[in-house]
Amino acid sequence: MLNVSHLTVNYGAIEAVRDLSFEVAAGQVVAIIGANGAGKSTTLNTIGGILKPRSGKIRFDGHDISAMRADQIARLGLAQVPEGREVLAPLTVEENLRLGAYVRADREAIESDLQAMFMRFPILEKRRHQPAGLMSGGEQQMLAVARALMARPKLLTLDEPSMGLAPLIVNQIFEIISEIRAEGVTLLLVEQNARKALQVADYAYVLERGALAYGGPAAELRQDERIVAAYLGN
């Protein structure tokens, strides 16, 4: 589904991601964990076409997307839940959701998906006609996830969906991630909350200062003493 090989990304002279290679197979949940500044967001933003790689290749669903624009990549079936949620604050909740389906043309299916999102996230229906920016952080995170699902993506990337949220909301978010996973959507999840991430993931990679430090089945990483000491703390 997604194949990243020898990816290097720079911000000017700063090398944020160095010679990174990994894979996400269809139907899998893959987690990337790492400390602040490890290069997790840079990796996701490069896959999404927001940043351009300095070198390396990214293949998605049979296409070389390394040089494509973000909107073209979205059209191929990649949806993103970006860091900091990025809801369109002045637009209403419903408009945000509809724009999630911007790449689709199947009108009736969009309407039924919209209703399905309202069933799944009742708060979004309650706030339907309100500007998205007026909602709480947790509600905005729900909206960001629901908006991405409106694209009916082949691959969904999530950048720290638990960031800055109360524990109760974090649990809720991870429940939703498990549900999405059960529906067979391929997921690439970036998290600082390594414990949670390793619980939902099939496979996981650890990024350290822009480079791959470990990679393996999530169950194995959960047992690995070095990982436990470095990322699972207490």
Partner 1 sequence: MFWQQVVNAIWLGAVYSLFSLGYTLVFGVLGILNLAHPSLYMWGAFIGLMCVNAGLPLWLALPLAMIFSGLMGVLLDRIAFKTLRDRNAPHLATLISSIGASIFLISAAQGVFSAQVSRFPFGVFPVKVFTLGPVTITLLQISILAISLAIMLFLRWLLMGTKLGQATRAVAFNPVTAARLGIPVDRVIMQTFFLAGALAGAAGVLLGLAFNAISPFMGGPMNLKGLTVIVLGGLGNIEGAVLGGFILSFSEVMSVAYLSSDLRDAVSFVLLLIILLFRPNGLLGRSSAKRA
Ligand X SMILES: Nc1ncnc2c1ncn2[C@@H]1O[C@H](COP(=O)(O)OP(=O)(O)OP(=O)(O)O)[C@@H](O)[C@H]1O
Residue in 39, 56, 100, 138 binding partner 1, rule: CB under 8 A: 100
Bridge partners (DSSP) of residue 214 are 206
Q: Are 131 and 91 in contact (CB under 8 A)?
A: yes
Distance in Å, CB of 83 to ligand X, minimum: 6
Q: Both tokens of residue 204?
A: 């996981």
Query: CB under 8 A: which stretch of 85-93, 114-122, 191-199, 211-219 binds partner 1?
Result: 85-93
Q: Both tokens of residue 49?
A: 């076409």
CB burial readout 206-229, b (16+ within 10 A) else e: bbeebbbebbeebeebbebeebee
Distance in Å, CB of 177 to ligand X, minimum: 18
- Contacts (CB under 6 A) with ligand X, residues 148-207: 192
- 41 part of the interface to Mg ion, by CB under 5 A: yes
- Which DSSP string corresponds to 106-126? -HHHHHHHHHHHHHH-HHHHH
Residue in 1, 2, 4, 16 binding ligand X, rule: CB under 6 A: 16
- Give the Cα separation of 2 and 38 in Å (integer): 21
Site string for ligand X, 40-59 (x = CB under 6 A): xxx-----------------
Distance in Å, CB of 40 to partner 1, minimum: 16
Residues that bind partner 1 (CB under 8 A): 48-50, 69-71, 74-75, 80, 82, 86, 88-91, 95, 98-100, 102-103, 147, 151
